[in-house]
Amino acid sequence: MDKKVLKHLFSKVKIILRGDVYQITLDDRVVRTPGGNNIYIPNYNLAKAIRSEWKAQKSKFCPTTMPMMQFAFTVIDHVIPNRNQVISKVLNYAETDLLCYRCDTPLDLKALQDQSWQPFLDWSKEVLSAPLISVSGYRYIKQPDESLDVLRKNIENYNDWELLVISQMTQLMTSLILTLSVVNSYVDWRVAFQASVLEEEYQRKRWGEVPEAIKAQNSKFNELNHSVQFLKLLRSE
């Protein structure tokens, strides 16, 4: 479905149960994804949220205001048929994880990075059994193959719908470890987000606010929030 505003062409939005999944109908016609697939949703709470997004549209509707629906479309059209590629792309972030690359100077920023980021790497080592190496100076460091194998197996345990969330969050925060810490309830997602923008916040306090940077950070925050809400709905009864 195009991201542009489209004409409103329906009067009734319903949820129907088909087998063990739910579908959304508009005037008794099943919603189809941009790829031409019938939409299906794994649980009722997520289906209700998507139905609410449709109902909130008035004389016109805009898909960009419907994040839960867009996530569902992406799972069906892109994650399910390309699961292995999605996993590999996510795992690539572990090889250059944000948390593993610290600055040399200024020293106060390095201290902030060590204080904020190291607990996440400690958690990865102790809980996930996936220790990663951190370096200063932004030089490339090869991560242990054993740790990458553990992380791959961990990611493979998630279903396609959860995998979308992991992919989205990892790209937003440029850190697989931050993402897994949220997905595994080690920290609240806002804490992980603040860790992911630590350097930007440092620069803002030092040099002042840049409107474009603030806009980009707010957009990242909102997208991350949508991802977390999608995950909560997936895991709700």
76 found inside a domain: no
Residue 63: what pLDDT?
83
184 and 210 in a common domain: yes
Same domain, 27 and 108: no
Average pLDDT over residues 4-30: 84
Percent share of the chain, pLDDT over 90: 82
Long-range contacts of residues 110-113, Cβ cutoff 8 Å, at least 24 apart:
110/136, 112/198, 112/202, 113/198, 113/199
Give 18's strand partners.
Answer: 21
Q: What is the pLDDT of residue 162?
A: 98
Q: What's the pTM?
A: 0.93
Q: What is the torsional sign of CA 145, 151, 154, 159?
A: negative
CATH of residue 10's domain is 3.30.2180.10
Question: Could you tell me the CATH number of the domain that includes residue 217?
Answer: 1.10.3580.10
Same domain, 104 and 203: yes
Residue 145 lies in a domain: yes
183-215 pLDDT per residue, tens: 999 999 999 999 999 999 998 888 888 888 889
> What is the pLDDT at residue 9?
64
In a shared domain, residues 33 and 140: no
**Greater confidence, 118 or 58?**
118
Residues 11 and 112 in one domain: no
Interior/surface letters 140-154, b for 16+ CB within 10 angstroms, e for the rest: eeebeeebbebbeeb
Q: Would you say residue 138 has pLDDT above 80? A: no
Instruction: Please tell me whether residues 220 and 130 are part of one structural domain.
Output: yes
- The mean of the pLDDT values for the chain is 93
The position carrying tokens 């306090």 is: 205
Total domains, the chain: 2
Q: Which of 11-25, 52-66, 84-98, 184-198 has the lowest mean pLDDT?
A: 52-66
* Domain co-membership, 60 together with 161: no
Claim to verify: residue 107 and residue 185 sit in the same structural domain: yes
pLDDT surpasses 70 at 160? yes
Pick from 129-133, 164-168, 214-218: least confident: 214-218
Q: Is the pLDDT of residue 59 over 80?
A: no
Lowest-confidence segment of 45-49, 183-187, 214-218, 221-225 by average pLDDT: 214-218
Per-residue pLDDT tens digits for 68-95? 999 999 999 999 999 999 999 999 999 9
Per-residue model confidence (pLDDT) at position 11: 82
- For the chain, where are the E strands, in sequence order? 6-7, 13-18, 21-26, 29-30, 60-61, 101-102, 135-136
Q: Residue 63: is the preceding peptide bond cis (ω within 30°)? A: no
Residue 73, in any domain of the structure: no
User: Which residues form the domain of 117?
Assistant: 81-235
- Same domain assignment for residues 186 and 104: yes
Q: How far is it, in rounded angstroms, from Cα 77 to Cα 71?
A: 10
Residue 128 vs residues 2, 116, 154, 184, 197: alpha-carbon distances, Å: 40, 19, 8, 10, 24
- pLDDT computed for residue 3 by the predictor: 42
Residues 143 and 228 in one domain: yes
- Residue 208: inside a domain: yes
pLDDT at 29 over 80: yes
SS3 30: strand
User: Is residue 70 assigned to a domain?
Assistant: no
